[in-house]
């Protein structure tokens, strides 16, 4: 099986967090996360990673005047 995921614009993949519950660790190249391995029938493989916003994405919104 193979999996490819493209993180949202403005987010950075923290590559040290790339992990899979089975098989090889995912890789990050060309702006995409890739995983390829064997999945036994009836089983699942979880691919996990952490994203961090870039400076282009504000972490909070300014307070609104009410």
* Residues 15-28 pLDDT 10s: 999 999 999 999 99
Task: Tell me what pLDDT residue 64 has.
Answer: 54
More confident residue, 19 or 62: 19
Residue owning tokens 């909070």: 60
Find the mean pLDDT for residues 29-39: 96
Question: How many C-beta atoms surround the C-beta of residue 45 within 10 A?
Answer: 15
**What value, to the nearest 5°, has the Cα angle with vertex 51 and ends 46 and 52?**
165
């Amino acid at each position: 099986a193979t999996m490819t995921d493209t993180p949202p614009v403005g987010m950075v993949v923290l590559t040290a967090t790339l992990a899979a519950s089975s098989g090889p660790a995912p890789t990050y190249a060309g702006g995409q996360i890739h995983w390829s391995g064997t999945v036994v029938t009836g089983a699942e493989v979880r691919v996990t990673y952490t994203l961090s916003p870039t400076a282009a994405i504000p972490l909070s919104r300014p307070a609104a005047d009410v």
